[in-house]
Amino acid sequence: MHIFYFSNLSMKTILKSLCFVPVFLFLLFSCAKDDATNLIVSKQDINLKVGMTDTIKVTVSYTGDQVKVPVTVSVSDNTVANATILPAPNGINQGSSTFSRSVVIKALSRGTTSVVIHAGTKNITCPTSIAQTTLILNQSVVMNYGLAIETSDNNVFIMDFFPETFKLNLSTESFAGSGQFIHFESLLPASLTSLSAGTFKNNTGGVNIFLPGDYYVENGKSIPYGTYIVSIVNNQMTYTLIKSGQYTVSINGSTYNIEGDLTTENTEIIHFSYTGPVSVVDKTEKPVIVKPLFTKGELLNAGDYYNRSISTTFFLFLETPNVDLNSSTLDGEVLYAQFDVNTYYTNSIPTGIYHVLTQSQYDNFEVAPFTIVPGNFHLYKDELVTGGTWYYNATSRKRLISGIVDVTDDYQQYSMKYTFYDRIGSQVTGTFNGTLNIKSSAPGMVKSFIDKVNNSSGFSAFAKQKATVFGPIHENKLRFTGAN
């Protein structure tokens, strides 16, 4: 009896234990299956330059519910780099035993750190090394081209800063050697003729700026302009465009200290410093007096060009004998001017004295009769084109911003005494006597005539350059003569 009672008690205990086992196993396997079992990264050692980014792929093997296996990332020194997990591109896929995430790592400063990727109870460490390109420069060639950019009223400074691995020849404006140097196109106030102290940032307008780098195409060849780094290896020259950044200039006696960080087209941030003298070569255009001998002309009636019902606009083109505006080749000189007259004139410019509008008058469209519009740029169907009053010859193009024209109209036999000035004080002056070929025109015809003048093969590249923020200075670069 005693023995039976003991066995019965043991059986109850056993039965209770057996009931507990499924619960224990359920809890055990429930905890175990919502977890990562393995992590694999596409690249474990990360090496970057400051400013650049890299994306690595992490593949997570897991059991259980994917939602319950979050992926996170941490960085041991987030002043050197930071890291971000990108969202799953296709959402959650519960039918698979693996999933992937992309981790974007951005280099912030020189140094080393660790990027640790976590998934559930698993993690993987990616050693990360960040380097920075630094250019130490101690030679300079700085040239002041004055008002060389037609859309800016500031002086253009072309500045090249070299390391000691180059040899400069200022008398021939050439250089030789190998390595890397920086070419800047910077804008300073028109009143300055030397490099000033201050901070310069990238932009396309204003003052105390440098122009971002880009390419233009000439004769099928891409040519850099703006600001860029030149690399010369084995006499081969390559370019890296600078898109943003800033530099600071300080002056101690005759020594300039220039230092800054420049962001390249591939987002790398390059640090540079220059210490040494800066002598500025004067390349500014000097005022001249031009006396064209125009013998013929065209007069295009553009109607109420500004939709203000206060004047009729005529575009006058005066030409030397060999110019033909119906041809793609112009040989000679052209002056075109935008006259505004009383609304009842449809086929002539009446007798009177015409003054070129001031810039503020033009900005307010005060295009009253007996006025002339100054040379300008404007948008036509989202394209920047020239308008107003301009002069061209084989070697130059002048935007005329002030002046006076005395017109006598004797039954469309014209006598026009004109004197115009550009913004550096050059003068275009003379007298035209003769008839004008009268044409009614839409704005498109006016633009067509102006385009022919701008782009004609009869004018040099200097004269016919397109109306961009960048001027003819691109034809005046230092000449590379090879290795030392």
Shared-domain flag, residues 168 and 221:
yes
Helices (H), 252-406: 359-363
Residues 170 and 116 reside in one and the same domain: no
Q: Rounded to an integer, what distance in angstroms lies between the CA atom of residue 285 and that of residue 31?
A: 81
Mean pLDDT calculated for residue range 233-244:
95
Does pLDDT of 30 surpass 80?
no
**Res 247: pLDDT:** 96
| Structure confidence at residue 27 as a pLDDT band (50, 70, 90) | very low
Min mean pLDDT across 26-40, 155-169, 259-273, 314-328 is at 26-40
Residues 304 and 452 in one domain: yes
Domain contains 472: no
In this predicted structure, what is the pLDDT of residue 482? 86
Q: Are residues 156 and 124 in the same domain?
A: no
Residue 140 sits in the same domain as residue 249 = yes
Mean pLDDT of 352-367: 94
Residue 248: closest CA among 237, 260, 232: 260
**What DSSP letter does each residue of 306-334 carry, written as one string?**
TSSSS-EEEEEEEE-TT--TTSS---S-E
Say what the pLDDT of residue 445 is.
67
- Please compute the mean of the pLDDT values over residues 352-368 and round it to a whole number: 94
262 is a domain residue: yes
pLDDT value at position 234?
A: 93
Predicted confidence band at 406 (pLDDT cuts at 50, 70, 90)? very high
What's the pLDDT score for residue 452? 65
Q: What is the pLDDT of residue 390?
A: 92
Q: Are residues 245 and 344 in the same domain?
A: no
pLDDT at 462: 45
Phi, psi angles (nearest 5°) of residue 98: -135, 155
pLDDT band per the 50, 70, 90 thresholds, residue 324: confident
Clarify whether residues 83 and 164 are in a common domain: no
State how far the Cα of 80 lies from the Cα of 103, in Å rounded to an integer: 16
CATH, residue 51: 2.60.40.3450
User: Residue 4: inside a domain, yes or no?
Assistant: no
16 within domain boundaries? no
Q: What is the pLDDT of residues 137-160, one digit of tens each?
A: 999 999 998 888 777 788 989 999
Buried b (16+ CB within 10 A) or exposed e, 348-374: bbeeeebebbeeebbeeeebebbbbbb
Q: Is there a domain that residue 380 lies in? A: yes
**Domain assignment of residue 455, yes or no:** yes
Does 72 score more than 50 pLDDT?
Answer: yes
Distance CA 467, CA 484 (A): 39
Q: For the residues 199-209, what does the mean pLDDT come to?
A: 85
For strands 413-422 and 280-282, give the pairing: unpaired
Q: Is the pLDDT of residue 248 over 70?
A: yes
Same domain assignment for residues 140 and 69:
no
Residues 145, 191 within the same domain = yes
88: confidence class by pLDDT, cuts 50, 70, 90: confident
Categorize the per-residue pLDDT at 323 as very low, low, confident or very high, splitting at 50, 70 and 90.
Answer: confident
Under the banding of pLDDT at 50, 70 and 90, the label for residue 20 is very low
- In which band, very low, low, confident or very high, does the pLDDT at 104 lie, cut at 50, 70 and 90? very high
Considering the domain boundaries, does residue 6 fall inside one?
no
Rounded to whole angstroms, how far apart are CA atoms 347 and 372?
17
Going along 64-170, which residue ranges are E strands? 71-75, 81-85, 98-107, 111-119, 122-131, 134-137, 139-146, 155-162, 166-169
Sign of CA dihedral 9, 14, 19, 24: positive
Residues 338 and 355 in one domain: yes
Which residue, among 361, 360, 359, has the nearest Cα to 376 in the 3D structure? 359
Statement to judge: residues 173 and 122 lie in one domain: no
Asked whether residue 26 carries a pLDDT value surpassing 70, the answer given is: no
Residue 461, sorted as left (phi over 0), alpha (psi -120 to 50) or beta, turns out to be alpha
Same domain assignment for residues 139 and 105: no
Indicate whether 431 pLDDT > 60. Answer: yes
Q: Indicate the residue among 89, 113, 131 that finishes a domain.
A: 131
| Residues spanned by the domain of 66 | 36-131
Query: 475 lies in a domain?
Result: no
Give the chain's domain count: 3
pLDDT at 329: 63
Binning pLDDT at 50, 70 and 90, where does residue 470 land? very low
Percent of the chain with pLDDT over 90: 59
Task: Give the model's pLDDT for residue 71.
Answer: 92
Q: Is the pLDDT of residue 364 over 50?
A: yes
Indicate if the pLDDT at residue 267 is higher than 90: yes
Task: Answer yes or no: is pLDDT of 8 > 90.
Answer: no
Q: Quick one: pLDDT at residue 232?
A: 95
